[in-house]
Amino acid sequence: MSRVGGDPEDLLDLFDEFPELTGQALFSVHIDERDCRIDLGFENAGLPSRPRRAWVEQGLNAFEMHLTFFGIRDLVLEGWTGTPKHTVHFGWMEEGRTPARDSEVRMEIRGTGELICFTAQSVKLTDVRAYRASQAI
């Protein structure tokens, strides 16, 4: 994953390994056909495995992140209604690739009667936010 600048951090600065996206609430999908990019917003009950110290000290207990995928191709969008239950498959296209290296990625999000899938040239963490949630997400 490419760094976006000092803030927000790379995902690997916040997680020991690339986070499992299935089970995180997908609260935002923005498809920008002009720039061939897709922004996805995920919300997670709990903090990442390596949270910022200030988040812990403030007693924050939930986390949201935005991933931006660039150079989109092979986009399939079927029956999307934004239901909260979905399965996310995220993978690097070439064997041996890791999130620390730039490489093409394949994204697939499935729900009952719903599908979003695409290939992207790259992906970046473009926003992070921790907060106190009053109940589990």
For residue 130, how many other CB atoms are within 10 A of its CB? 21
Residue range 45-56: mean pLDDT, rounded: 90
Work out the pLDDT band at 122, boundaries 50, 70, 90. Answer: confident
Please determine, for residue 39, whether its predicted confidence score (pLDDT) is greater than 90.
yes
| Pairwise CA distance, residues 111 & 86, whole Å | 4
Stated pTM of the model:
0.79
End-to-end CA distance of the chain: 26
Q: How much is the average pLDDT of 1-20?
A: 57
Q: Is the pLDDT of residue 95 over 80?
A: no
Mean pLDDT to the nearest integer, 45-62: 91
